[in-house]
Amino acid sequence: MLKYKIIFYLIILNLIFSFQNLGAGTGRIYGKVKTTNNETFEGWIRWDKHETFWDDYLDATKKYFIESDWDEKILLKVYGPYKIYRDEKDFRTNSQVALQFGHISKIIKKSSSSALIELKDGRQLFVNSAGGDIGSGNRGIEVCDLDFGKISIDWNNFESVEFMEEKSKYRKQKNTNDVYRLYGLVKTRGEDEFKGFIMWDNDECLSTDILNGKYRGRDMEIPFANIFIIRRDSPTTSLVEMKNGTRFTLSASNDVGQGHRGIVVKDPEYGEIHIPWNDFEAIEFFERETKYLLDYNDFTGGKPLFGEVLTRDRQIFKGYICWDNDETFTSDVLDGKLKSFDANLEFGSIYSIEYHSRRAAIIELWNGNRFELSGSNDVDDRNMGIYIMKKNGAFQKLDWEAFQKVIFSR
């Protein structure tokens, strides 16, 4: 009798987990795209043919805020419920912006090279092209619409997109569980290791994506779901080991050799790490990982940076913070080099930043991880100023040599 009870409970648990998986989000970008022909398509979205998940970054050049006020001193309304007065020499009309797609509610095309971005918290950004994400350099906005199939819309035919939580019928499709985000461990030639979600060749990130190359003169197209290990064999070739144990060397493709655009690893210990092909040694792909997947509702649009700033002469200033005369929100990105690798971190993941030298800072994340970043004006003496807006409305500006440490509030 006990045996049957155990079997019964196991069946019930299996059903519970099955229903939970059906209801779980895929982490994929989802929305409604409108074209200039007044057509509307809704479904999973792949932006510029590679940004696929809510925590992928949209890159652009930020001009100014739509709501900004101006006068002869240039008054800039900075992201939050406060204003900073600056001299004209301090003001930058152009700066790079990187935003995770989950923070965005709408993108509206304004021209062949510009767009208006509306964030979840109501902010609006007018942005220009900075690569392929905005403007005619965009390689296509793919929509996987269950009614129409896969549609690719170029920038000329694109009018707007409204992002939203994916509908349950997409999560519950039969083949949804067959398509998952690539996850693995990357080893570098310098013996560093990074583990997280993977974007291969700055492009492939799904189990159904294809690795291309030639083997003994034959064209090969291999789904990443079938691959166990890829190892750099030479500057132009890679050794591929399949999950069934088969091994072979691929060549003649930027997927496995020269022309490779690098491996992006979303490592929760460090942020987003970019590993160039010349530094790559090997990658081992793991089974599906859902622990770190984020859904649309996990993003808020961000909130103003707030915290305590300690100076080199032991003064403490508390208030809203504008970092590097540019970043003022938790959804903004701090960038630098982790050893020789480019790293991007959302300010919302950062607990503190501490002066280390003229050329570097120590970053501590809310998860407790500490490491040194360098090679960027965000974290060295090229920093264009740390502004603190105090409660009385006055602000304090610190240069890099006067700054000691900031501890952010949540």
**All structural domains of the chain with their residue ranges:** 30-171, 182-285, 303-408
For the chain, give the mean pLDDT.
Answer: 88
| Residue 394: predicted pLDDT | 77
Task: Give the containing element (helix H, strand E) for 12.
Answer: helix 2-23
Could you give the CA distance from residue 60 to residue 32 in angstroms, rounded to a whole number? 21
Q: Output the six-digit token pair for 124.
A: 């609006």
Find the mean pLDDT for residues 105-130. 93
C-beta separation of 273 from 336 below 8 A: no
Does residue 233 have a pLDDT over 80?
yes
Range 52-67 average pLDDT = 79
The answer to whether 279 and 265 are in contact (CB under 8 A) is no
Token code pair at residue 242? 């399949």
**Which of 68-77, 98-107, 324-333, 399-408 shows the lowest per-residue confidence on average (mean pLDDT)?**
68-77
pLDDT at 42: 97
pLDDT in tens, 254-281: 999 999 999 999 999 999 999 999 999 9
Q: Which of 100, 116, 99 is nearest to 108 (CA)?
A: 116
Q: What is the pLDDT of residues 2-48, one digit of tens each?
A: 444 444 443 333 433 333 443 468 999 999 999 999 999 999 999 99
Distance, CA of 76 to CA of 117 (rounded, Å):
18
pLDDT number for residue 245: 98
Nearest-angstrom CA–CA distance, 192 and 207:
25
Q: Give every CB contact of residue 21 below 8 A, 6+ residues apart in sequence.
A: 177
The phi, psi pair for 380, rounded to 5°, reads -145, -170
Residue 371: phi and psi, rounded to 5, are: -165, 165
What is the arithmetic mean of pLDDT over 237-262?
A: 97
Tokens 């890099």: give the residue. Answer: 400
Strand-by-strand arrangement of the 158-163 sheet: 95-100, 57-65, 124-128, 114-119, 104-111, 158-163, 30-35, 40-46, 141-145, 149-153
Rounded CA-CA distance 146/128 in Å is: 32
At 124 the pLDDT is 87
Pairing of strands 210-215, 141-145: unpaired
Give residue 1's pLDDT.
52
- pLDDT, tens digit (0-9, with 9 covering 90-100), for 97-108: 999 999 999 999
Range with the poorest average pLDDT among 152-156, 166-170, 171-175, 201-205: 171-175
CA 67 from chain centre, in angstroms, equals 26
Structure tokens at 256: 């496995």
CB-based contacts of 196, cutoff 8 Å, min separation 6:
183, 265, 266, 267, 268, 273, 292
The three-class DSSP label of residue 408 is strand
More confidently predicted of 129 and 25: 129
